């Protein structure tokens, strides 16, 4: 049984084809520059050279047609017949309060996703376009939605409500939702295995640090707080997003620069964060390289990001009480040893003792590593995330009728014998 996972962004479509029987990735890739011209596909198959093809994709339907065409291509493809694909899993960024787990997509589910697209106007519309396009290209297979927000639907009311007029929540759904749920789910389950404990007995802080950044306080296996809010703009410093700032700043700048609300929103999402401070970079590798050469704004960007990470660890430690582990994941979390070191410096008083040598030598996306000292009361792990595996297992379980919420479902990666 082959499962196709699709992740449709505003101008891209990522994909992965997974052989469930063999437990291995058959192919993966991405169509870039969808809807904006000069689009192309990058197609990767284990053991082969990466294939690239220029192919104009004015919309997501054409992009998905291109993916299907490439997967079935006689030279570059991996399937003889599209009937090999048993189901399609779709990443949906925002499910609002309507979805606390993955679901089979039918007309009612798609309508419900459309009803909350105002909560994620940059993300849900392309997700919806991708679903509709894939349904038209593969009409005879089940389509399943996997929601970024679902994992965080366990937040208590006092954690997800904002101190704004209550009518905003009643009328418009204004509350904290959180994102990167599949990543937080995966690495928290893996951390429990590494601790030798059941997830319900673990208190863990998970730190997903990539271009987008979010953290989660996980108590007894469930998310009780998370850094992103109504939208992915709130929380930590990110590649191009500002994260937590004084809420008066947008209105102040709007007046000073004579900008529209949409223009300010675009700046805070696309030109702030690490890019805003450095004026040049979002990739932390570039920032670190220039910081080592003495670039003051790159040094400042690293200091700001590390300081904010440390603040979140401290605040979530206060929320959780007993802390068993801190987990770093995603591109920067897995590769950025210097950022991890700066974020964890001086936290010995809360039981975090970093092994600096091991941390410095941990720059891989393929191995789980403990970077704290053996006697550190709180363990610190670097765990490569695998959101696509969560997608795939949810899809297979839904098809088999065995799916349940994550605390009552046996994910393969939550087992001590799991190997990637």
Active site positions, annotated = 148
Place of tokens 């570059």: 76
Q: Give Cα 175 to chain centroid, integer Å.
A: 19
35 burial class (0-12, 13-18, 19+ CB within 10 angstroms)? middle
Residue 406 near residue 183, CB atoms below 8 Å = no
What are the two backbone dihedrals, phi and then psi, of residue 370, each rounded to the nearest 5 degrees? -90, 120
Secondary structure (3-state) at 138? coil
Closest Cα to residue 351, out of 368, 373, 383? 373
Q: State the Cα–Cα distance between residues 206 and 183, nearest whole angstrom.
A: 9
Work out whether strand 213-219 and strand 12-19 pair parallel, antiparallel, or are unpaired. unpaired
The single-letter DSSP state of residue 326 is E
Task: Give the angle 347-364-6 at the CA atoms, nearest 5°.
Answer: 110
CA 182/CA 222 separation, integer angstroms: 12
Q: Is the dihedral of CA 28, 31, 32, 34 positive or negative?
A: negative
Three-state SS for 24-36 is EEEEEEEEECCCC
Q: Are 175 and 163 in contact (CB under 8 A)?
A: no
Question: DSSP label at 123?
Answer: T
């Amino acid at each position: 049984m082959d499962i196709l996972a699709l992740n449709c962004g505003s101008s891209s479509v990522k994909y992965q084809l997974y052989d469930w029987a063999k437990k291995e990735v058959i192919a993966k890739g991405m169509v870039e520059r969808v809807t904006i011209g000069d689009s192309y596909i990058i197609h990767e198959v284990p053991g082969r050279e990466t294939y690239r093809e220029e192919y104009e994709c004015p919309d997501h339907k054409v992009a998905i047609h291109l993916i299907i065409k490439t997967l079935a291509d006689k030279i570059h493809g991996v399937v003889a017949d599209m009937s090999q694909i048993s189901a399609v899993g779709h990443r949906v960024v925002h499910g609002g309060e309507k979805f606390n787990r993955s679901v089979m997509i039918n007309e009612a589910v798609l309508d419900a996703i459309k009803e909350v697209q105002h909560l994620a106007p940059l993300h849900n519309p392309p997700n919806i376009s991708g679903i509709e396009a894939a349904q038209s290209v593969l009409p005879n297979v089940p389509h399943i939605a996997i929601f970024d927000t679902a994992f965080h639907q366990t937040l208590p009311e006092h954690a997800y409500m904002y101190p704004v007029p209550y009518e905003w929540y009643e009328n418009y759904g204004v509350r904290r939702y959180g994102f990167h749920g599949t990543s937080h789910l995966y690495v928290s389950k893996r951390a429990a295995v590494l601790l030798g404990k059941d997830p319900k007995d673990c208190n863990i802080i998970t730190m997903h640090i990539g271009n987008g950044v979010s953290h989660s306080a996980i108590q007894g296996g469930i998310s009780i707080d998370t850094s992103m809010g109504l939208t992915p703009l709130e929380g930590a410093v990110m590649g191009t997003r500002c994260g937590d700032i004084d809420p008066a700043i947008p209105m102040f700048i709007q007046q000073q620069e004579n900008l529209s609300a949409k223009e300010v929103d675009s700046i805070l999402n696309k030109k702030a964060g690490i890019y805003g401070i450095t004026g040049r970079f979002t990739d932390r590798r570039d920032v670190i390289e220039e910081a080592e050469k003495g670039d003051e704004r790159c040094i400042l960007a690293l200091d700001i990001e590390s300081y904010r990470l440390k603040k979140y660890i401290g605040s979530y430690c206060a929320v959780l009480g007993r802390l068993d582990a801190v987990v770093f994941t995603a591109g920067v979390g897995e590769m950025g040893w210097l950022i991890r070191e700066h974020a964890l410096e001086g936290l010995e008083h809360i039981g975090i003792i970093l092994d600096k040598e091991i941390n410095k030598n941990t720059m891989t996306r393929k191995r789980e590593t403990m970077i704290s000292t053996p006697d550190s009361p709180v363990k610190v792990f670097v765990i490569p995330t695998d959101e696509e595996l969560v997608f795939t297992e949810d899809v297979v379980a839904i098809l088999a009728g065995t799916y349940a919420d994550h605390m009552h479902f046996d994910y393969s990666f939550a087992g001590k014998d799991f190997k990637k």
